[in-house]
Amino acid sequence: MNEKVKLLTDNIEKVIVGKTDSVLKIITAMLCGGHVLIEDVPGVGKTQLVSALARSVDGKYNRIQLTPDVMPSDIVGFSMIDQKTHELEYKEGVAMCNFLLADEINRASPKSQSSLLEVMEEHQISIDGKTHELPLPFMVLATQNPVETYGTYHLPEAQMDRFLMKISMGYPSYDDELDIMSRAERSGFAKNIQPVMTLENVCELMGYAENVTAELSVRKYILSLVTATRNSDYVKLGVSPRGSIALLKASKAYAFVQGRGFVMPDDVKAVMPDVLAHRLMLSPKGKSAFENERKALENIALTVKSPDAIEK
């Protein structure tokens, strides 16, 4: 593992217990400028994970609880007349930060969802003819509850495609939860985490991750995986070219996280379910054959031959 990434991971794991894979996937998404949708039940540590990441890199962290009455202006901000200068003054919304936790995104109205997703795509806010650049890095971690459906607004597939990854933390193991209970007895333990990296360091690491080498054989493997989703009888809507680009970027970032300057097929396999599953729409045949899109994708991936391990 890359030394700086290990330092960051170890610091986050002072708060987040037994979820190394989730931590690494979040860091991977951060290093390629992507956003993450976390679909999980309440109380498994989603908020603490985002908070620990923001505190570890000394970044600005905002959280918004999305409900049907949340307005787009709450997210992107608004302009108002300054009583002294009589000029329009921009008032920042919650999106003006480095790390934004958008809790229960599927409870927000479609209009508010669209405003957030537009910010995610453009990395800037335009209000009254003026453009306000978002700070770097900028990352949205949105959550949604897979159990509740009453009072929710389903995210359209086209909007789901804006998220680089969709992950699930899951329940901790027995021993990990015992450790969590012990830590929780120490009041404020999650707030005592100290920065181990600056935002400038993160931007530097993002540059290194972008320069990771992906050989032609790996690129063809990625494209073969994506093409297989388009040709499968189990899939009604396959992965778009945006998905293949996202898988390449995530694979490069994950290879860097693992301490390598080149992508191996195993890197692609490691991030593929998180990057591609939410971009699929199963056909009736697929819905009857598989529990979810992730299971269908794993089955489809078995039909694609992996290139030989690359050695450098």
Query: Could you read off the pLDDT of 194-204 as tens digits, one per residue?
Result: 899 999 999 99
Mean pLDDT of the chain: 88
Q: How confident is the model at residue 311 (pLDDT cuts 50, 70, 90)?
A: very low
| pLDDT above 50: residue 309 | no
The residue among 182 and 215 whose pLDDT is bigger is: 215
Q: What are phi and psi of 148, to 5 degrees?
A: -85, 140
Q: What span, in angstroms and rounded, lies between the C-alpha atoms of 55 and 225?
A: 37
Helix (H) or strand (E) holding 7: helix 3-12
* pLDDT at res. 188: 62
| pLDDT above 90: residue 215 | yes
Q: In this structure, are residues 118 and 124 in contact, taking their beta carbons and an 8 Å threshold?
A: no
Kindly report, residue by residue over 39-87, the tens digit of the pLDDT: 888 888 888 888 889 889 988 989 999 988 999 999 999 888 877 777 7
Q: Which of 14-28, 57-71, 142-156, 269-283 bottoms out in mean pLDDT, i.e. has the lowest?
A: 142-156
| HSE (side-chain half, CA atoms, 13 Å) at 135 | 16
The residue among 114 and 222 whose pLDDT is bigger is: 222
Q: What span, in angstroms and rounded, lies between the C-alpha atoms of 152 and 225?
A: 32
- Written as one letter, the residue type at 48 is Q
Helix (H) or strand (E) holding 133: strand 130-133
Phi-psi region of 129 (alpha: psi -120 to 50; beta: other; left: phi over 0): left
* pLDDT at res. 312: 42
* pLDDT at res. 113: 87
The residue among 91 and 187 whose pLDDT is bigger is: 91
Kindly report, residue by residue over 125-158, the tens digit of the pLDDT: 888 888 889 998 999 999 887 765 666 777 877 7
Q: Estimate the crossing angle of helix 3-12 against helix 46-56, to 10 degrees.
A: 130
| pLDDT above 70: residue 111 | yes
Q: Which residues contact 275 (CB under 8 A, 6 or more apart)?
A: 164, 165, 243, 246, 247, 250
Q: In this structure, are residues 56 and 12 in contact, taking their beta carbons and an 8 Å threshold?
A: yes
Q: How confident is the model at residue 307 (pLDDT cuts 50, 70, 90)?
A: confident
* pLDDT at res. 115: 87
* pLDDT at res. 222: 96
Bond from prior residue into 273 cis (ω within 30 degrees of 0):
no
With pLDDT > 90 as the criterion, what percentage of the chain qualifies?
A: 53
Other beta carbons within 10 angstroms of residue 255's beta carbon come to 26
Give the pLDDT mean for 274-301: 92
Q: Which of 7-16, 178-187, 238-247 bottoms out in mean pLDDT, i.e. has the lowest?
A: 178-187
Dmax (CA) of the chain:
68
* pLDDT at res. 187: 60
Domains of the chain, CATH where assigned:
3-201 (3.40.50.300), 211-301 (1.10.8.80)
Give the pLDDT mean for 267-295: 93
Other beta carbons within 10 angstroms of residue 186's beta carbon come to 9
- Written as one letter, the residue type at 35 is H
Nearest Cα to Cα of residue 287 among 278, 279, 296: 296
Other beta carbons within 10 angstroms of residue 285's beta carbon come to 14
Kindly report each contact of residues 222-230 with a partner whose C-beta sits within 8 Å and lies 24 or more positions away, as own/partner.
222/247, 222/248, 222/251, 222/268, 224/304, 224/305, 225/268, 225/272, 225/276, 225/300, 225/301, 225/304, 226/276, 228/300, 228/301, 228/303, 228/304, 229/276, 229/280, 229/297, 229/300
Q: In this structure, are residues 235 and 281 in contact, taking their beta carbons and an 8 Å threshold?
A: yes
- The structure's pTM equals 0.90
Q: Estimate the crossing angle of helix 199-210 against helix 3-12, to 10 degrees.
A: 130
Q: In this structure, are residues 56 and 195 in contact, taking their beta carbons and an 8 Å threshold?
A: yes
